[in-house]
Amino acid sequence: MTSGSDQTEPASRKPRGGPGLRIGRPFGIPVYVTSSWLLVAAVITLLYGGIVQARLALGPVSYLLAFVFAILLYASVLVHELAHSVVARGFGLPVRRIVLHVLGGVSEIGREAPTPGREFWIAFVGPLFSLLVAAGAFGLYLMADPFGVPGELLFQLWVANLLVGVFNLLPGLPLDGGRLLRAGVWKVTGRPFAGTVAAAWGGRVLALGVVALPLVEAWRSGGLNPWGTVWALVLGGFMWMGATEALRTARVRERIPGLRARELARPAVAVVSDTPLAEAQRRAGAAEADAIVVTDRQGTPLSIVHPAAAEAIAEGRREWVPVSDVARALTEHSLVPVGLEGEELLEALAGHPLPEYLVVDGEGAVQGVLRAGDVNAAMAGEARR
């Protein structure tokens, strides 16, 4: 099972609804279980139930015991994720939620750690708690009857947590060990992007290794394990996609400091609300402006002409259609200070998502129109249209 913290990019505003059934709010953090957990619980119950029956001969109770183990396993994953989330919140980072899914769990942390040291501790504390749970379960197992129900559960619990803790320390994203590698490279180079590149490629190599394991074993033994092969393909695919997404996110984050409202704003002309659309477009063309701002007679901005709505008007009618008919009204959240840049600019836009914003200086004078599509294009490294 995989587990780890998922630090998301500010530009990707994830849906606020839950991805499954909410089972609680420990430490004020919403915890959700997806429907895929039922599939894993069923598989564990069927497979492990047969093993328990062979070892303890408990009849139908063997499968109940196997289901209890599935619950204990995911409770261990929850402890792992809570460790990530609590430490992240202690460092002042927002935690959206914890999601338990088919392959383990993930903590959705809303902002990147500001230093490699904090990145290290947020990542390391998860495997640390898994290994502590393993040690505690192992200690109790030594005092229990190995052929009794408690002994069987404790045995599986300490082995499972040991595997989760050790596996998540492997040096590749999206595993916690990848974040530890990222923190180390970040510390040495001073560039978080360099750390992400190293850890993402480490994750891709690990993904290929996971997929190759059952194939190598089949070559050695002469027989292919179907369950092991399917699980390796699913896990390897998940790791490859996680590493690739981390690399994409890092490339986006690398561009965030270069985002400036002053540079992204499109030149605009101001016209009064009863100006014919054709005349407004003529003035914009003469001024080499890309946007039209509608004002009242005193020059107070009221709205911004919507390009698609304007283009939908037949050219022959534009002499008779006032610009106010094809404009979006401005609100108190439509104004963006011209000096905003980087994270501050993104946070301002994310707080009140709109198609376009009016960029103004300290005196309230219009400096241009900022379109959300232009910001997204800049973050993706694309030329604006």
Residues 6+ apart with CB under 8 A from 52: 58, 62, 63, 65, 66, 152
Judgement on whether residues 158 and 250 belong to the same structural domain of the protein: yes
Number of structural domains in the chain: 2
Same domain, 58 and 98: yes
* 49: pLDDT strictly greater than 60: yes
8 A C-beta contact, residue 210 and residue 235? yes
pLDDT of residue 8: 47
The reported pLDDT for the residue numbered 110 is 83
More confident residue, 5 or 356: 356
Cα dihedral 46, 47, 50, 52 sign? negative
pLDDT the model gives residue 254:
83
- Does residue 244 lie in a domain region? yes
201 and 280, same domain (yes or no): no
In a domain, 55, yes or no: yes
Look at residue 3 and tell me whether its pLDDT is greater than 80.
no
Tokens standing for 233? 């393909």
- The reply to whether 101 sits in an annotated binding site is no
The residue ranking higher by pLDDT, 269 or 39, is: 269
Q: Is residue 384 part of a domain?
A: no
* R_g of the chain computed on alpha carbons: 28
Using the Cα atoms of residue 281, residue 285, residue 291 and residue 296 in order, give the sign of their dihedral. Answer: negative
Residue 302 sits in the same domain as residue 365? yes
**At which of 257, 275, 308 does a domain end?**
257
What residues make up the domain containing 54? 2-257
Are 252 and 293 part of one and the same domain? Answer: no
pLDDT score for 4: 59
> For residue 11, what pLDDT band results from cuts at 50, 70 and 90?
very low
* 179 falls within a domain: yes
Q: In this structure, are 274 and 357 located in the same domain?
A: yes
- Does residue 28 form part of some domain? yes
Query: 22: helix, coil or strand?
Result: strand
Report d(CA 78, CA 84) in Å as an integer. Answer: 10
In the chain, alpha helices (H): 36-56, 61-90, 116-143, 149-167, 176-189, 192-221, 226-255, 261-264, 277-286, 307-311, 342-351, 372-379
The span from the CA of 99 to the CA of 285, in Å, is 52
For residues 152 and 215, membership in a common domain is answered with yes
Given 257, 292, 320, the domain boundary residue is 257
One domain for residues 131 and 233: yes
307-328, pLDDT tens digit by residue? 999 999 999 999 999 999 999 9
* Cα(141)–Cα(155) distance, integer angstroms: 6
Amino acid at 268: A
- Where residue 134 falls among pLDDT bands split at 50, 70, 90? very high
Average pLDDT, the chain: 88
Q: What is the pLDDT of residues 208-247, one digit of tens each?
A: 999 999 888 888 888 787 877 887 898 899 899 999 998 8
Question: What residues act catalytically?
Answer: 81
**Do 186 and 119 sit in the same domain of this protein?**
yes
Asked whether the beta carbons of 63 and 71 are under 8 A apart, the reply is no
- Per-residue pLDDT, averaged over 249-263, amounts to 88
What kind and span of H or E run contains 358?
strand 356-360
- Give the end of a domain, one of 203, 232, 257: 257
Residue 358 covered by a domain: yes
Is residue 226 domain-shared with residue 270, that is, in the same domain?
A: no
Does position 16 have pLDDT exceeding 60, yes or no?
no
User: Residue 368: pLDDT band by 50, 70, 90 thresholds?
Assistant: very high
User: What residues does 328 pair with on adjacent strands?
Assistant: 304
CA–CA gap between residue 153 and residue 148 (Å, rounded):
9
- Pair (7, 119) in one structural domain: yes
Domain presence at residue 297: yes
CB-CB contact of 366 with 268 (8 Å): yes
- Residue 385 domain flag: no
Domain containing residue 294: CATH number: 3.10.580.10
Q: Is the distance from CB of 357 to CB of 369 less than 8 angstroms?
A: yes
- Could you tell me if 243 and 154 lie in one domain? yes
- 196 contacts 182 by C-beta, under 8 angstroms: yes
